[in-house]
Amino acid sequence: MKRIRNLMRKAEHSERVLYIVRTILIVLASSFVCLILNRAGVMKENILMVFLIGVLLIGAFTAGYEYGIIGAVVSVLMFNYFFTVPVHTFAIMNPDDVALMFFFLVVSCISSGMTARFRRQLSIAGENERTARRMSEMAERFSNVTGKERIIQLGLAYIRENTGYEASVSLKEENGIKQSEGYEGGYVLFPIGGIMQQSGELKVYTQDRGMTAEQEIFIRAAAGQIGIALDRETIYSEQEKTKLEVEREHLKSSMLRSISHDFRTPLTGIIGDCDLIMNNDSMAPDEKKNLVRDIREQSLWLTRTMENILSMTRIENGEGFIERNQEVIEDLVYEAERHIQGLKEHRRFRDSLPEELITANVDGRMIVQVLVNLLDNAVKNTEEGGNIRLGVTYQNGKAFFVVEDDGRGIEPGCEELIFNEFVSLGENEPDQKRGIGLGLAICREVVEAHGGKIWAENRLEGGARFTFWLKAQTAGL
């Protein structure tokens, strides 16, 4: 700081010397012009006007009325020495010359003062314009910044750049005062205003040097902008929390409605089948076997649905639901096929696997659930006897899984939408084929949690195709 003050003193000294040099040059130039005019026969009253013009020029090219007064006094002396009788002396014999020089001094002092005042007002206006421009820029920057830390850092940076002072901010938090980095030395406190109450304090470290009115205005403006931006951030945060709460409640309500509606159909079917078996002792074995098979299918559907609900609950709660182990891809595929009731009995199903043994570091249970959901989705969206294929290929360190069918396909434009929660492909199908819309959402969450990607598309031949990939390797690598 001492170095800065020394530089400022040197700059002021250099400026003062420059103004003195300009004053001397203007007086000399005026005197030279007057000598030329005098030889040309111009009267001394008109010659004195040239010196007056010189005084006005001194006021225009210097700062402060004192330079104009000095120039006026020197001009009077030059006029007395060169143009009054007796010439080349400072004696005055004609009273008219005394009056002429006196009025010249009065007019020069008045004009110098007015010129200095005008320059000062012009300088103040320019400074106000620059201050207004800086404040406008600051307000614009604050309107685009987010995050409490970045808001505070921006405010401190503006204060440092425009005043040369370091500063720190103390915010009123729920658990007390949160203060940014501080500095030693004297300081001045400025309140950071909020909508309802003071949100903190701005501490400007002046090192007991004080501050100008302009600096104080700028610092107060910066404190106000910090307060407005912090209030905006708080309001936005509260709005986001409220929005999340509303969405969470909406999801809960949607889930409860879906569960209550979609569980009613299989439970009603199970109860009805059980009543038929219990109340009909003469039922043929084949009929009883069909009813038991139907009960088992409905029970498996309920089990898969409950697993999907529990998995989505764990995912939304942010729990670490992935437990990786080294798994063989072929075992995962066969395990998933085994869980789909009626996949091979009521559909023309085929699978294709690579000849080499492929392994992956994954959560086997969750990947099986992904395959089960995709296969179950294919069964629900194909007719009796429809074609379903599950294929696995290996390429460039990735295992690609493809589940495709020749069913009714995906409605155009919904290829991404179907991976959202509570979106079901079977909403126009009978109740026993409907789901609560969590299966594909879980597939996406699980695949992406493993670092893979899943997508859906319609086949040119008809039907839908679901593809996802996971990082894998051949056995032994």
Q: Within 10 Å of residue 160's Cβ, how many Cβ atoms?
A: 13
Give the rounded percent of residues in the chain with a pLDDT score beyond 70: 83
- What residues are paired with 466 via a beta bridge? 403, 456
Query: Span 44-66, mean pLDDT?
Result: 80
Q: State what percent of residues in the chain have pLDDT above 90.
A: 14
Q: What mean pLDDT is reported for the chain?
A: 79
Q: Would you say 182 and 201 are in contact if contact means Cβ atoms under 8 Å apart?
A: no
Mean pLDDT of 307-324: 68
Parallel/antiparallel/unpaired status of strands 176-179 and 166-173: antiparallel
pLDDT of 196 reads 60
Q: How far apart are CA 446 and CA 444, in angstroms?
A: 6
pLDDT, residue 277, reads 81
Q: Given this model, what pLDDT does residue 432 score?
A: 45
* pLDDT tens, residue by residue, 223-276: 888 888 888 878 887 888 888 788 777 766 766 666 666 677 677 778 887 888
- Predicted pLDDT at 421: 64
Q: What is the DSSP letter of 85?
A: S
CA 274: distance to chain centroid? 60
| 3-state secondary structure at position 320 | coil
pLDDT tier, 464 (very low <50, low <70, confident <90, very high otherwise): very high
Residue type at position 196: M
Q: Which residues contact 192 (CB under 8 A, 6 or more apart)?
A: 169, 171, 198, 199, 200, 201, 202, 223, 226, 227, 230
For residue 182, name the pLDDT band (cuts at 50, 70, 90).
very low
Q: 99 is written with which tokens?
A: 């009056």
**Range 55-79 average pLDDT:** 81
Q: Does the pLDDT of residue 199 top 50, yes or no?
A: yes
Instruction: Report, as an integer, the average pLDDT of 67-74.
Output: 83
Cis peptide before 430 (omega within 30 of 0): no
Return the structure tokens found at 280.
């009909």
Q: Where are the domains of the chain?
A: 2-127, 158-258, 318-474
pLDDT tops 60 at residue 430? no
Q: Are 429 and 410 in contact (CB under 8 A)?
A: no
- Strand arrangement of the beta sheet that strand 187-193 belongs to: 176-179, 166-173, 198-205, 187-193
Confidence of residue 395 (pLDDT cuts 50, 70, 90): very high
Q: What is the pLDDT of residues 409-420, one digit of tens each?
A: 898 888 888 887
Section 414-429 average pLDDT:
67
Q: What is the pLDDT of residue 175?
A: 40
pLDDT of 111 reads 80
The arithmetic mean of pLDDT across residues 196-201, rounded, is: 72
| CB neighbourhood size of 406 (10 A) | 20
Give the mean model confidence (pLDDT) for residues 452-467.
93
Q: Is the pLDDT at 435 greater than 60, yes or no?
A: no
Q: How far is CA 38 from CA 25, 34, 42, 277, 370, in A?
A: 20, 6, 5, 138, 108
State whether residue 189 is helix, strand or coil: strand
Q: Which residue has the higher pLDDT, 458 or 75?
A: 458
How far is 393 from 22, CA to CA, in rounded Å? 88
Q: For residue 266, count other CB atoms closer than 10 A to its CB.
A: 20
SS3 for 293? helix
**Cβ contacts of 35-39, under 8 Å, gap ≥ 24:** 35/82, 38/82, 38/83
Q: pLDDT band at residue 283, thresholds of 50, 70 and 90? A: confident
- Give tens-digit pLDDT for 97-121: 788 888 888 888 888 778 777 877 8
pLDDT digits (tens, 9 = 90+) for 1-45: 445 455 456 656 677 888 888 888 888 888 888 888 888 888 877
- 139: pLDDT strictly greater than 80: no
Model confidence at 345, pLDDT cuts 50, 70, 90, reads: confident
The CATH architecture one would assign to domain 318-474 is: 2-Layer Sandwich (3.30)
Coil vs helix vs strand at 349: strand
pLDDT at 317: 62
Compute the C-alpha angle 183/185/190, nearest 5°.
Answer: 75
Pick the more confident residue, 474 or 149.
Answer: 474
422 vs 16: which has the higher pLDDT: 16
Average confidence (pLDDT) over 208-232: 80
Q: Looking at residue 456, what is its pLDDT?
A: 94
pLDDT recorded at residue 104: 82
Mean pLDDT for the stretch of residues 305-314: 70
